[in-house]
Amino acid sequence: MGYAKPIPVVIDENRPFWEATKRGQLLLQHCRDCGAYRYPASVLCPECSSTAFDWKPVSGRGKVYSFVIFHRAYHPGFADELPYVVACIELEEGSRLMSNIIGIPPEQVRCDMPVEVVFEEISKEISLPKFRPVAGNFIAINQAPSIGPPIPPNRPMP
C-alpha cells in the first residue's frame, strides 16, 4: 500500500523548497531587501512586500513555538499514528513552519523545546521535513522527576 496521507502539491513557487528537502536540506526564501526568511513560499515578502528574494539554506534548528496533540484522525491516513503532534516550529532564522514533532511521546512535548529537522521520505518526489528534540534536551526531559505523587484512585466519600 502506498502513502495514505495527503501529499504536498509542488508548484513553481515552492519547487526549490521540495527539491531541497529531497536532498536533506531545508531551504527558505530570503528577502534581498529586508533579510527576512519566509515560509510558505510566496512572491511577496510578508515583512516589506519586496519581490526580490534568494533561496538560502537554513540551519534546521529551532524551537517549539506552539503545538497541539491530535487524538482524533480527521483523515483516515492518520488513524494509525494517534496520538500525534502538530507543531509550529520557530527556526533560529526567525521563520515559522508547521510540522510534526517525532521521536518523543506527545505528552513530553513542550513549548520552547529545542528541536532539529529530520526528513521523512514519503515518495520518490517528496520528503517531508519533521522535527525531533535535540538529543540532550530529550534525555533531560526523560530524566526529569515526575510532578508530585501519583493520584490515588477514587475513594468513597466519608
From its phi and psi, is residue 35 left (phi > 0), alpha (psi between -120 and 50) or beta? left
Taking contact as CB under 5 A, which single stretch among the options 28-36, 71-79, 81-89, 142-150 is the one that binds Zn ion? 28-36
The cell numbers describing 98, all together, are: 508547521
Separation CA 95–CA 37 (nearest Å) = 6
**Contact call for residue 28 and Zn ion (CB under 5 A):** no
**Contact call for residue 82 and Zn ion (CB under 5 A):** no
**Contact call for residue 47 and Zn ion (CB under 5 A):** yes
**Contact call for residue 50 and Zn ion (CB under 5 A):** yes
Separation CA 90–CA 10 (nearest Å) = 23
Q: How far is the CB of 46 from Zn ion (least distance, A)?
A: 8
The rounded Cα 78 to chain-centroid distance in angstroms is: 16
Separation CA 32–CA 45 (nearest Å) = 9
Give how far Cα 148 sits from Cα of 109, 140, 144, 152, Å. 19, 18, 12, 12
104-143 footprint of Zn ion as x/- string (CB under 5 A): ----------------------------------------
- Residue with smaller CB distance to Zn ion, 50 or 66: 50
**Contact call for residue 45 and Zn ion (CB under 5 A):** yes
Q: How far is the CB of 17 from Zn ion (least distance, A)?
A: 18
**Contact call for residue 31 and Zn ion (CB under 5 A):** yes
Separation CA 24–CA 20 (nearest Å) = 6
- Residue with smaller CB distance to Zn ion, 47 or 116: 47
Residues that bind Zn ion (CB under 5 A): 31, 33-34, 36, 45, 47-48, 50
